[in-house]
Amino acid sequence: MNTTLETRPAAERGIAEHGWLSSRHTFSFAHYDDPQQRGFSDLLVINDDTVAPGAGFGMHPHRDMEIFSYVLEGVLEHKDTMGNGSQIRPGDVQMISAGRGIAHSEFNGSQTAPVKFLQIWIVPAERGTPPGYQQTHFPAEEKRGRLRPIVTPDGAEGSIRIRQDARVHAGLFDGDEAATLPLHGDRHAYVHVARGTITVNGVALAAGDGLKLRHAEAVSLRAGHAAEVLVFDLRAVDTEY
């Protein structure tokens, strides 16, 4: 099959402004519903959240979802009903496998500075599994000029394990730095630009932009300028949840 590319511009994302929270929704979420943007393959949510000092999300439940947080700036404090409590900082990735049920809270750990992070949901392969929690730090030097696996089904290279046939890579690119991620078998891919600018498979993208690649053989990144990028290697399915 031929690869098709579809840009998801940052300016067209859903908007939520709550005073303490400023959020941009790549896909349909809460009160934002776009029939054309109800996830991509098993990737259901990318929320670009900025939380005011001292504010946050109170204790609330989830089930049957793989939820991970990727902090860009500041400190995110987490507590859950499994007894976990942690601070999540830039370079950290935290994963909750909600399984048959878990509740958690997320607050800005600073009283003076905002926290900016991506909250990402991926639908699991199985429902009703025991809940789980993981957190790992991935130093900037491991992502510089390459795509470092941060979430995989098998925990490759010390990555966080996910209960789905999905892989997430993170990379930092500037100047002449470039990378190509081969995709094995018939796959979809999604690229999210967390900050900066970069060219992906010939498409110029800026902060907040995304790119959907259907039936892709590889994802190629070049011409980055202060870019931080997440690349999702996903099943070649188009499923609405």
Q: At 132, which amino acid appears? A: G
| 13-126: CATH class | mainly beta
Any bridge partners for residue 191, and if so which?
211, 231
CA triplet 100, 106, 109: central angle to 5 degrees? 150
* CATH 2.60.120.10 intervals, the chain: 13-126, 140-235
Q: What is the pLDDT along the chain (241 residues), one digit of tens a residue?
A: 789 999 999 999 999 999 999 999 999 999 999 999 999 999 999 999 999 999 999 999 999 999 999 999 999 999 999 999 999 999 999 999 999 999 999 999 999 999 999 999 999 999 999 999 999 999 999 999 999 999 999 999 999 999 999 999 999 999 999 999 999 999 999 999 999 999 999 999 999 999 999 999 999 999 999 999 999 999 999 865 5
Question: In sequence order, what DSSP letters do the residues of 68-112 get, joined into one string?
Answer: EEEEEES-EEEEETTS-EEEE-TTEEEEEE-TT-EEEEEEES-SS
Q: What are phi and psi of 11, to 5 degrees?
A: -70, -15
**How many Å is the Cα radius of gyration of the chain?**
17
pLDDT for res 240: 58
Q: Which pLDDT score, from 0 to 100, does residue 241 have?
A: 57
As a whole number of angstroms, the distance between CA 223 and CA 82 comes to 43
> 190: Cβ–Cβ under 8 A, 6 or more apart, which residues?
40, 41, 43, 210, 211, 212, 213, 231, 232, 234
- Euclidean distance between CA atoms 54 and 111, whole angstroms: 5
Is CATH 3.30.67.10 the classification given to domain 140-235?
no
Other Cβ atoms less than 10 A from the Cβ of 31: the count is 8
The Cα 38–Cα 28 span in angstroms is 5
Phi, psi of 143 (to 5 degrees): -110, -5
One-letter amino acid for residue 80 of the chain: D
Q: Is the dihedral of CA 34, 76, 172, 159 positive or negative?
A: negative
CB-count exposure of residue 38 (10 Å: 0-12, 13-18, 19+): middle
Q: Which of 33, 45, 15 is nearest to 192 (CA)?
A: 45
Q: What is the pTM of this model?
A: 0.97
Asked whether 38 and 27 are in contact (CB, 8 A), the reply is yes
Any idea of the CA torsion for 31, 49, 177, 7, to the nearest 10 degrees?
10
Rounded CA separation 183/140 (Å): 24
Q: What is the distance between the alpha carbons of residues 157 and 138, in angstroms, rounded to a whole number?
A: 11
73 vs 146: CA distance, rounded Å:
21
